[in-house]
Amino acid sequence: MLSFVKGAWKLLVALKDGMVLLFLLLFFGLLYMGLKAARTEDGTPGSGALYLALNGPIVEQPREIDQVSTLVGNDGPAEYRLRDVVRAIELAADDSNIKAVVLDLDGFGGGGQVAMERVGAALDKVRAAGKPVLAHASFYDDDAYLLAAHASEVWLAPLGMVGVTGPGGSNLYYKGLIDKLGARTHVYRVGTYKSAVEPYIRTDQSDEARAANQALVTAVWNGWLANVAKSRPKAKITDYLADPVALLRAQSGDTAKAAQAAGLVDKLGDEIAFGTRVADLAGEGRDGGPGDFAAIPVTSYVRKHPARKVGQVGVITVAGEIVDGEAPAGMAGGSTISNLIRDALSDDSVKALVLRVDSPGGSAAASEDIRSALTEARKRGLPIVVSMGNVAASGGYWVSTAGDVVFAEPSTITGSIGVFGILPSFEDTLARIGVTSDGVKATALSGEPDVIGGVSPEFDALAQASVEDIYGKFIGLVATARKLTPQRVDEIGQGRVWDGGTAHQLKLIDRFGGLDDAIAEAARRANLSGEAAGARYFDPEPDDISKFLALFGGEQTSVRAGPRDWLSHAARRQEQLAARVFTDLRGLIEGPAIRADCLECRIYTPAPPMRQAEKASWFALLAKWATGA
């Protein structure tokens, strides 16, 4: 017995020593990271070029950073908050220490047309202040070139290419996979154009969806062309796209020279040549090596110039998919957003609210949670102004019905007033491996939905009635908010997606304008002026551990450079495609079953890159889906 006690004591002492050692290693590791971050910050030059090396997408609300992964250098691509990027560029226009603005767009992940137009407008202010704006990339896609068009000098790598293609492309359809697995999908929907369920019940696009999507693509593309033509009149973009092969042949197959000949870029040069040009304008870097210039990273610039929090207009962001319950930043949890609205209400200094929406929708119940919280704010006398970003459709439009006035841009994707429900069952799948089911029921709905034995006709009828009821409520909300008859809303609803220009004609929005216009309108309605008319942002708070780790330099950076040639850039879409499959199948399994969602809207916003945990669970998800587990 004594020997057992001694052994146990030695084990406890060893565990204690191990924990102390682990703590000390963690402490000194964090201290090292903090000192390293401080040295990096001290190394930022006092004057030079504002340097936007955008190694990821620009988004309304970045996803919450996994600080532990950040500390070990495995955090994945960065995400840049739109309002931070815009504010930094606009501050640079009047900052005498900023001599130029530089866009390094290798690895840029896009951000949607509305966001690009907003950043482009900020770049125009820099040029109007007499400061040069320079862009460089090895490959320009639609979003990257929309930014570059606002630069005073557009550079392209000698082996580079302008790969503008225009919006649109293929959707994924899973009916063939579902049939092979022996699964069944039970679909309940309202809306002629509610095509979000088509991938699960068809192998191709319906005629109605095709016509609606073609009209949408045409409107958005025309807006892109108009913006580029205004910003860079010498760019012969239509000629370039009309017959790119002919242009290539005229330049002996040189893609970079073809882009230059069409006026899309000004100069061809590698990073050293480009850096040398920037150094001539903004000064040389501390190292003084070839192509090194005095660069002030945008993240450092934003930290040194924090936004003042004295405004009395509360801004709540609904970004990403709308989901039930709590959700971290980058997704719109119904409970999370509702609580943020109530937090703003409890602050006596907040006199008006702006709801910034950049979401294709999601859970109908969560959308209603958010709308109800806004309605409560209106009852207390707070003006509510809605500002639509790239996308505010389906559930994103549902929450917008609570606004006194709705702002959007001509390129905003909105509408999709419709509801659907979808539920898989696996009776045929299991029967193939010899598993069947049987039982007794007290009522026709006992044990329903029976995804193992097969969903009953009674449940199907009940589910369809429920979806129709929610659609009726959706129609009623829109009719009341937009002062239209329910019959008229039903005509322009039916799940159809509209561009902002058409939505304005249909009275689904009130005015054209961005977030700044919405904040100004909210301030006017609340009789605010001066500093009080400014914004105060209410965002989801990270957990305490993430806050602690963030103190030690947990800033998100890219762990790998973006693709440098156009074929590699095209290949990167494979990962984005896998992310879409992952999202679609996970949504089919995990719900919510009843959704106000817009599938076709997702191609107009940057797809968030899959994180390591998501990649690891990819095959597990397929197995789970195939077995009905």
Catalytic residue among 195, 231, 338, 394: 394
Burial 67-100 (b: 16+ CB within 10 A, else e): bebbbeeebbbbbbbbbbbbbbbbbbbebeebbb
Which uninterrupted H or E stretch holds 80? strand 80-81
The alpha carbon of residue 222 and the mean position of all alpha carbons in its chain are separated, in whole angstroms, by: 22
Q: What is the DSSP string of 3-39?
A: HHHHHHHHHHHHHHHHHHHHHHHHHHHHHHHHHHHHH
Q: How far apart are CA 362 and CA 22, in angstroms?
A: 43
Q: Is 416 labeled as catalytic in the residue annotation?
A: no
- Omega of the bond prior to 57 within 30 degrees of 0, cis? no
Helix, strand, coil percentages for the chain (3-state, nearest 5): 50, 15, 35
Relative to beta strand 419-425, strand 184-190 is antiparallel
DSSP structural state of residue 361: E
Q: How far apart are CA 609 and CA 617, in angstroms?
A: 14
Relative to beta strand 352-359, strand 98-104 is unpaired
Kindly state the tokens that stand for 244: 């790119």
The torsion defined by the Cα of 593, 598, 603 and 605, in degrees rounded to 10, comes to -100
Residue 403: other Cβ atoms inside 10 A: 26
Residue 304: other Cβ atoms inside 10 A: 12
Catalytic residue among 194, 351, 387, 400: 194
Q: Is 359 labeled as catalytic in the residue annotation?
A: no
Q: How far apart are CA 53 and CA 377, in angstroms?
A: 40
HSE-up of residue 536 (Cα within 13 Å, Cβ side): 22
Q: Which residues contact 413 (CB under 8 A, 6 or more apart)?
A: 216, 220, 390, 391, 392, 393, 497, 498, 499, 500, 598, 601, 604
Q: Which residues contact 345 (CB under 8 A, 6 or more apart)?
A: 376, 377, 380, 382
Give catalytic residue positions: 194, 394
